[in-house]
Amino acid sequence: MKEVLHTENLSIGYKGKPLLPDINVSLNEGDIVALAGPNGAGKTTLFKTLCGSIKPVRGRITLFGKDLNEYAATEHASLFSLVLTEKPDDLFLKVADIVAAGRYPQLGLMARLGETDKRIIKEALQTVGIKHLIDRNFISLSDGEKQKVMIAKSIVQDTPLIFMDEPAAFLDYPSKLELINLMVKLSREHKKTILFSSHDLDLLLRYCDKMWIVGHDMPLKEGTPKQLVEQGLIDAYFKPIIAKNEFPFM
């Protein structure tokens, strides 16, 4: 398998203070990996570190065999795309406008959409099942439809690696299942590598093939949901939080 991302003795945190023990993990082409853990355990910090938004305390991150620090910031848009929980709130932005923004890193100095770009945008909307919404105002869409628009934007950016921070947040259960199926489609048909975070432990245990779990001051562990359950790691990482009635998965 082609390795996309690799960490070597990676320590994440702020102001030189590590949040977790050193992390040594890899992502291969076509992987879909769910990152799960209680609030404050370091999921968002890990995302930001892997994207180069914040510097690691120590250790190394490589993308496609090259140190992340060796890439210019302008190259990041061709390496990975981000689907965040924050959404545009402009009253007049249409779906087509938001998805088209994903093509800008691929455009020349004039930043004009050509016929090929327009075709890619329509194909991305078709892939996520919202081609009929292309002329709708973004703000008028449901939460599930908005999330599909942001995923379409990441598709047209045409990066091999996609990071999704809480993509299932605020979605009803059928929409969450639809999102999982969409991610599977992207990995199998488009060879995308996807890392996403989620609080929905029940959903992850039922439908994910591979998980990374983190806990407060506990090492990142990886495996299939079955492996993590059988090894007692789900109980070890999550039961102490549930016992305190903090309910991190709601």
Contact 183, 207 (CB under 8 A): no
The single residue listed with the structure tokens 């947040």 is: 169
Identify the pLDDT of residue 230.
Answer: 94
Tell me the pLDDT tens digit for each residue of 133-185: 999 999 999 888 898 899 899 889 989 999 998 888 778 888 888 888 888 88
Q: CA-CA distance, 7 to 20, in Å (whole number)?
A: 14
CATH 3.40.50.300 fits 3-89+159-243, yes or no: yes
Q: Report the percentage of the chain scoring pLDDT > 90.
A: 46
Average pLDDT, the chain: 87
Segments making up each domain of the chain, as ranges: 3-89+159-243
Structure tokens at 116: 């090929």
Identify the pLDDT of residue 232.
Answer: 94
> Taking each helix axis from N to C terminus, what angle separates 143-157 and 173-190, rounded to the nearest 10 degrees?
10
Q: CA-CA distance, 34 to 36, in Å (whole number)?
A: 6
CB proximity list for 30: less than 8 A, separation 6 or greater: 1, 187, 188, 191, 192, 193
Q: What are phi and psi of 166, to 5 degrees?
A: 50, 55
Tell me the pLDDT tens digit for each residue of 22-31: 999 999 999 9
Distances (CA, A) of 137 to 89, 118, 198: 10, 18, 28
Average pLDDT over residues 5-18: 93
- What is the 3 state secondary structure string of the chain? CCEEEEEEEEECEECCEECCCCECCEEECCCEEEEECCCCCCHHHHHHHHCCCCCCCEEEEEECCEEHHHCCHHHHHHHEEEECCCCCCCCCCEHHHHHHHCCHHHCCCCCCCCHHHHHHHHHHHHHCCCHHHCCCEHHHCCHHHHHHHHHHHHHHHCCCEEEECCCCCCCCHHHHHHHHHHHHHHHHHHCCEEEEEECCHHHHHHHCCCEEEEECCEEEEEECHHHHHHCCHHHHHHHHHHHCCCCCCC
Identify the pLDDT of residue 25.
Answer: 96
pTM confidence score: 0.85
More confident residue, 245 or 197: 197
Q: How confident is the model at residue 247 (pLDDT cuts 50, 70, 90)?
A: very low
CB proximity list for 216: less than 8 A, separation 6 or greater: 38, 40, 41
Contact 99, 152 (CB under 8 A): yes
Distances (CA, A) of 3 to 33, 128, 163: 14, 26, 16
Q: How confident is the model at residue 63 (pLDDT cuts 50, 70, 90)?
A: very high
